[in-house]
Chain A
Amino acid sequence: MMIFGDCVETREILEKSKPDLELHFRLPSTGVIPDLHGRYGDIVAKINECIGHLDANEENRVVMVINELVANALKYRERDTKIYVKVSVYGDCLIVEVHNTIVPVEKSHLAKFLITVMHYDLNEAYYRQIEYLTDHPDETRARLGVITILRDCDARLGYIIDEHVGSDRVVAYAMIDLEVHREN
């Protein structure tokens, strides 16, 4: 098992505390991916309903974190395997978990990338990648999802890569402190 980033505190909250709100969904292993942005909108609406009002920037932050983790899972997963997503709210703290399989070549890329990015200045890493993309306009992947979650969404992020017979698995954890507007 390989652990990267901030997993300990996140897993402790998940194991020991009772969430105020828990939502989960699965993406099918094959066929058409359902309307993800509609689903994210539903999640934000439920958070607003349950714990208070998030402003547009906070809503965007929540959607961004879920979306980036799901987008990565879709890129990394083995063919014909499902993706499981859980969003939990504990007071003003939101935790997103995404479980998926990972193809071997992506596993080593992800591990190397996480080691690099967790020890880098995030702004510097971002700027370097923008320069790289400008130099390589035919690049099909920006590879800025993880950096954006950490840098722009102010999230704590952790990954666990677990080796299994058949297919390796990844769990991504992102934790963000929400700024909630509550009516007195």
Chain B
Amino acid sequence: MKTEYDQGYLSFGDDHAIVVAGTIAFNTFEEFRGLRKQLSGLITNGSTIDIRDLKFLSSSGRAMFSMVCNDAKRRGVTGVKIWIKQDIEWQDRIITTLRHVWPALTVIGVEKVAQIEFPQLDF
């Protein structure tokens, strides 16, 4: 399944990996509503989210992504893995935000690509 958003897309394959890639230059938070709902509906326990090749050009995109992850945490989702490129500053910032909303987050791996897991937490 592949859904296009602006010059980017979300794809969800048989491996249950959620890939969001390309340039999504929406400016308003409202414009991200469709992507936000789709992402929220796909994230479940064990999901892998790959944003390594994603480029947002506004604060609304970053906010949307943090909000979707926060919402997943509240729904009781655990064990999500997020692929980022640590040398892309905004992606690294997102991890800082997620570390705050999901304090037990651990980073596995170093170098350019990090694999992130959200362990089971007691709420």
Flag whether B3 is at the interface (Cβ < 8 A). no
Minimum CB–CB distance from B41 to chain A (whole Å) comes to 13
By a CB distance below 8 angstroms, the chain B residues around A37 are: 25, 57
- Chain A residues, Cβ within 8 Å of B101: 127, 130-131
Of all chain B residues, the one with the shortest Cβ separation from A136 is B67
For chain A, residues 37 to 71, give those with C-beta under 8 angstroms from any C-beta of chain B.
37, 40, 56-57, 60-61, 63-64, 67-68, 71
A74 to B100, CA, bound (A): 32
Total count of chain A residues near the partner, CB < 8 A: 32
Q: Looking across the interface, which residue of chain A has its beta carbon closest to that of B32?
A: A142
B90 partner residues in chain A, CB cutoff 8 A: 60, 152
Is B107's beta carbon under 8 Å from chain A?
no
Given contacts A134-B74, A144-B59, A152-B90, contact A126 B25 (CB under 8 A): no
Measured between alpha carbons, how far is A71 from B61 in the docked complex, in Å? 13
Q: Are A127 and B28 in contact (CB under 8 A)?
A: no
Chain B positions within 8 Å of A129 at CB level: 63
Decide yes or no: A67 and B30 within 8 Å by CB, A37-B25, A126-B97, A133-B63 being known contacts. Answer: no
- Give chain B residues whose Cβ lies under 8 Å from the Cβ of A133: 29, 63, 67
Residue in chain B with minimal CB distance to A40? B57
Q: Is B58 an interface residue (CB 8 A)?
A: yes
Q: Is the interface of B mostly helix, strand, loop or mixed?
A: helix
A123 to B29, CA, bound (A): 20
B39 → chain A, closest Cβ, in Å? 12
Cβ–Cβ contact A139 & B58, under 8 A: no
Say if the beta carbon of B27 comes within 8 Å of chain A: yes
Question: Does A144 contact B88, Cβ atoms closer than 8 Å?
Answer: no
A60–B97 Cα distance when bound, in Å, is: 19
CB neighbors of B among A54-97 (8 A)? 56-57, 60-61, 63-64, 67-68, 71, 74
Are B57 and A67 in contact (CB-based, < 8 A)? Answer: yes
Query: Are B27 and A141 touching (Cβ within 8 A)?
Result: no
How far apart sit A56 and B55, CA to CA, in the bound complex (Å)?
11
Contact in complex: A152, B63 (CB < 8 Å): no
| CB proximity to A under 8 Å, residues B2-60 | 25, 27-30, 55, 57-60
Contact in complex: B58, A71 (CB < 8 Å): yes
- Nearest A residue to B60 via CB reads A142
A-B contact pairs, 25 of them (CB 8 A): A37-B57, A57-B87, A60-B89, A61-B89, A64-B58, A67-B27, A68-B59, A126-B97, A127-B101, A130-B67, A131-B101, A133-B63, A134-B67, A134-B70, A137-B71, A140-B29, A141-B28, A141-B29, A141-B30, A142-B60, A142-B64, A144-B60, A145-B59, A148-B59, A152-B90
Which residues in B have some Cβ–Cβ distance to A below 8 Å?
25, 27-30, 55, 57-60, 62-64, 66-67, 70-71, 74, 87-90, 93, 97, 100-101
